[in-house]
Structure 1
Amino acid sequence: MGYGFSRDDVDFLSGAAGRAALAEVDRLELTAATHLRDLEHVRRRYDAAAGALIDTVRLRRRASRKLLGAGEWLFTDDALQQATPTLVARHRARRVSGRAVHDVTCSIGAELVELARVCPTVIGSDLDDVRLAMAAGNLAAARTTAERAVLLVRADALRPVSVGTVVIADPARRAEGRRTNDPAALQPPLPDLLSAYATRDLAVKCAPGLDFDRLDWAGEIEVVSLDGAVREACLWSLGLTQAGVTRRASVLSSSGAVFELTDADADEIAQRPPGEWIIDPDGAVVRAGLVRHYAAKHGLWQLDPRIAYLTGDRVPDGVRGFRVIDRMELREKTLRRELARRDCGALEILVRGVDVDPDALRQRLKLRGDQPYTLVITRIGRAATVFVCTAHRATGD
């Protein structure tokens, strides 16, 4: 759960004395091995402020892997867990660039920072006074308010307090301390949120595992990945998307590259035997249900119509592919003998459509060689099939 921050904590941490104390605490290791020693040191120096200081330093260290330029920000543990990674927030902000926006669940302001860079009017609201105070400090630390003032107000997300704005929302995804994919269990409940802004341009960040079939949603569902990891889904109302688009996959990279695919793209693909390569599409493509669209775009086809693995004679630029060097039925004794013959050591195992535990299988194979290989285990028709492969990444050179 983390430390329970108060407004007094925020005021202290935001002042000159708090900033100096944080700089001192940041020089400590704050590891499991040094925990008791570090805690005793901070308590001797700062007494009741020790918990706020230690948790803030720890949260800042965690945030550095997720939020750019957040080295002087304030967080709560839950707020950091739910905060949108900077590059994902920046991607969403580009879609509403030039519009007046209202983030009705602004929390500690991670989205507001990016919105304020590209939107002329930005409002942030939340019911939590502590998070609002943190947001004000974080916006100042990000230096976005010098050119565009962000109005922060205390308000219930289900009671609209602005007009003429694009509404951005990020309902909390925990119910009774546990993560939930039930739309009605979010805070605020997703059905209530959609009803409150039924006539407004609206974008709602959701967990990618949310059961979208339980929603009556006429707009677009976008699934976003960053550096190969699926980060979120976002619901976009009809006024914020292209006509005819109901699904979108956005594949982002820390390098700045962006690949987008929608269900308006072509999805006609050939039915052919496995090619030279197997490609495992990015998770955003799979979660958005756009595997056939991705295949059509890159001249690929499916190993099986019900399975998300693709195959072809080339690998799309920048994508990791698996060159097929052998194919066999899923028989462990035969597979162990073949991998031993190939001097296999390190083994990556990818599985779809077959009930196989990769870690357990790897242990049973008892590999002792030096060469790295990849197994792609899947179902083609009714047969469980294994492809022995070597992994490569296409560079486009």
Structure 2
Amino acid sequence: MEIAELTALLTPEGLRLLDEVGEVSSSDEALRAVSQLRKAGHSPDLVSAVVSQAHLRVKAQAKFGEFASRMLFTRAGLEQATRLAIAGRHAARFRDAGLTRVADLGCGIGGDALGLAALGLRVDAVDMDEITAAVAAYNLAPFGDAVTVRHGSAESCDLKEVDAAWLDPARRTAGHSETSRTRPEDWSPSLDWVLDLATRLPVGVKLGPGLDRTLIPDDVETQWVSADGSTLELVLWSGALARKGVRRSALVMRGDSAHEMTSGADAEDEPARELGAFVHEPDGAVIRARLIGDVARSLDAGMLDEHIAYLTSDAAVTSPFVQSFRVREVLPIKTKALNSALRTQNIGTLEIKKRGVDVDPAAFRRTLTLRGDASATLILARIGNKRVAILADRVAAA
């Protein structure tokens, strides 16, 4: 979004027009809306802003639910925003620790600040980008004086009046649409600045889940977060926000439910064992947190291979921290043998998973003949020196 578009949008006419346009879900709907608005005599800047916002509101429903229809977005801001359900859980940390005033340093479009303010905390929010800060101010306006938003840098903030801070450092180049990743020393604020602040103030820091673990201090709690099978973020918690005795945690959210596994350190893996009646795929947050061993012990399972994050067991149990599959049969990764099995078992719908083998699932699927009413999962994996195809059925989640 350009400043001219935002200026045109933040007027009574612009906001009224946005509500009137309603949802814009596809490119065809966007073209029709643009044509109709231009014929009605509206300016190009206003038309562009309204149609873009109508489309972003549809996309934002996955993160913000019904609140999306009352918010404004930038494309990059929406992509980087925390899901509201996760933001609410983060905010509860501050509330439960007895903290009442939080600085949101790098507030983006205001997603995390929404969670904080909704729980009754006062929020001082700041963002380096002028347009993003203006969008956040609009989104947070319903909270009145409980939330302030300003355009500025995290490093320039006076933190004397706050109890704690939430940080989401800008880890990509500046912009509202296409951006690229930068190095920790080039983040805004830099990782070194953030970690120094964490020694002086209780902080929560949202980072990418693939952060180099050697950059993580020993005295903070590290929490990897996933939602509906996608690992979304790593959060560092310091001071009063870090739970006693917890250094590793995996928060797994599926739909409206949330499950967490915690530990004082990386868990020791279970030894590899023979393929059993079940294969279990640990959630990405569990893998990142290196808590696979704890999950294995809860399932009476072992590693399928010591170098691959699949578990196997004979016990008919599952867990919210894994996806479980009941083994039908084990086959070589050869098209002829697989097609024979698929034909015999009337399989027309096939989910393909793989670890430890150099196979492109999309290309491999094109070599298979899928006909029939049954469905199954094909797990392509390496066990020791062997490459195998495990035909299996999903087990209902716990």
Residue 361 of structure 1 and its aligned partner are, at CA, apart by 1.6
Deviation readout 1:259-311 (Å, 9 max, x if unpaired): 11123387574654222211111111112221112222333322122211112
Letter of the 1:168 counterpart: W
Letter of the 1:94 counterpart: A
Letter of the 2:264 counterpart: A
Residue 254 of structure 1 and its aligned partner are, at CA, apart by 2.7
Secondary structure of 1:221's match? strand
Residue 52 of structure 1 and its aligned partner are, at CA, apart by 1.5
Q: Which residue of 2 aligns with 1:284?
A: 285
Residue 86 (structure 1) aligned to one of 78, 84, 94? 84
Runs of 4+ that moved beyond 6 A: none
* Whole-angstrom CA distance in 1 between matches of 2:365 and 2:25: 36
Secondary structure of 2:108's match? coil
Letter of the 2:86 counterpart: V
Cα distance change on mapping 1:333 and 1:32 into 2, 3 Å: same
Deviation readout 1:218-238 (Å, 9 max, x if unpaired): 412211011222121112225
Does the alignment pair 1:31 with 2:37? no
Matches within 5 A, 1:213-292: 213-216=214-217, 218-255=219-256, 257-264=257-264, 267=268, 269=270, 272-292=273-293
Residue 203 of structure 1 and its aligned partner are, at CA, apart by 1.3
- Asked if the contact 2:198–2:239 (Cα under 8 Å) also holds between the matched residues in 1, the reply is no
* Whole-angstrom CA distance in 1 between matches of 2:103 and 2:159: 7
Q: Which residue of 2 aligns with 1:358?
A: 361
Letter of the 1:388 counterpart: L
Q: Which residue of 2 aligns with 1:52?
A: 49
Greater Cα offset, 96-105 or 207-216: 207-216
Residue 9 (structure 2) aligned to one of 1, 5, 13? 13
Q: Which residue of 2 aligns with 1:339?
A: 342
* Whole-angstrom CA distance in 2 between matches of 1:394 and 1:275: 19
Secondary structure of 1:361's match? helix
Residue 389 (structure 2) aligned to one of 386, 389, 395? 386
- Asked if the contact 1:30–1:38 (Cα under 8 Å) also holds between the matched residues in 2, the reply is no
* Whole-angstrom CA distance in 2 between matches of 1:210 and 1:181: 12
Give the superposed CA RMSD. Answer: 2.6
* Whole-angstrom CA distance in 2 between matches of 1:259 and 1:67: 20
* Whole-angstrom CA distance in 2 between matches of 1:179 and 1:299: 43
* Whole-angstrom CA distance in 1 between matches of 2:269 and 2:194: 37
Greater Cα offset, 331-340 or 244-253: 331-340
* Whole-angstrom CA distance in 1 between matches of 2:173 and 2:151: 22
Deviation readout 1:210-259 (Å, 9 max, x if unpaired): 3333455541221101122212111222542124432211001332x211
Deviation readout 1:135-167 (Å, 9 max, x if unpaired): 222123xx444xx71122333112341124211
* Whole-angstrom CA distance in 2 between matches of 1:393 and 1:317: 10
Cα distance change on mapping 1:58 and 1:36 into 2, 3 Å: closer
- Asked if the contact 1:155–1:161 (Cα under 8 Å) also holds between the matched residues in 2, the reply is no
Q: TM-score, length-normalised on structure 1?
A: 0.87
Residue 36 of structure 1 and its aligned partner are, at CA, apart by 4.2
Secondary structure of 1:24's match? helix
Greater Cα offset, 62-71 or 116-125: 116-125
Residue 59 (structure 2) aligned to one of 52, 57, 62? 62
Q: How many residue pairs end up in the alignment? A: 385
Cα distance change on mapping 1:205 and 1:247 into 2, 3 Å: same
Secondary structure of 1:108's match? coil
Letter of the 1:316 counterpart: T
Secondary structure of 1:84's match? coil
* Whole-angstrom CA distance in 2 between matches of 1:233 and 1:65: 20
Does the alignment pair 1:22 with 2:28? no
Letter of the 2:376 counterpart: Y
Cα distance change on mapping 1:268 and 1:25 into 2, 3 Å: closer
Residue 158 (structure 1) aligned to one of 135, 145, 155? 155
Q: Which residue of 2 aligns with 1:314?
A: 316
Cα distance change on mapping 1:217 and 1:40 into 2, 3 Å: farther
Residue 173 of structure 1 and its aligned partner are, at CA, apart by 2.8
Cα distance change on mapping 1:35 and 1:239 into 2, 3 Å: closer
Cα distance change on mapping 1:181 and 1:365 into 2, 3 Å: farther
- Asked if the contact 1:25–1:42 (Cα under 8 Å) also holds between the matched residues in 2, the reply is no
Residue 41 (structure 1) aligned to one of 23, 36, 39? 36
Secondary structure of 2:264's match? coil
* Whole-angstrom CA distance in 2 between matches of 1:181 and 1:156: 17
Secondary structure of 1:64's match? helix
Residue 93 of structure 1 and its aligned partner are, at CA, apart by 0.8
The alignment-based identity, stated in percent, is: 33
Does the alignment pair 1:149 with 2:146? yes
Q: TM-score, length-normalised on structure 2?
A: 0.87
* Whole-angstrom CA distance in 1 between matches of 2:62 and 2:123: 26
Greater Cα offset, 226-235 or 148-157: 148-157
Deviation readout 1:112-156 (Å, 9 max, x if unpaired): 11101225332111233332332222123xx444xx711223331
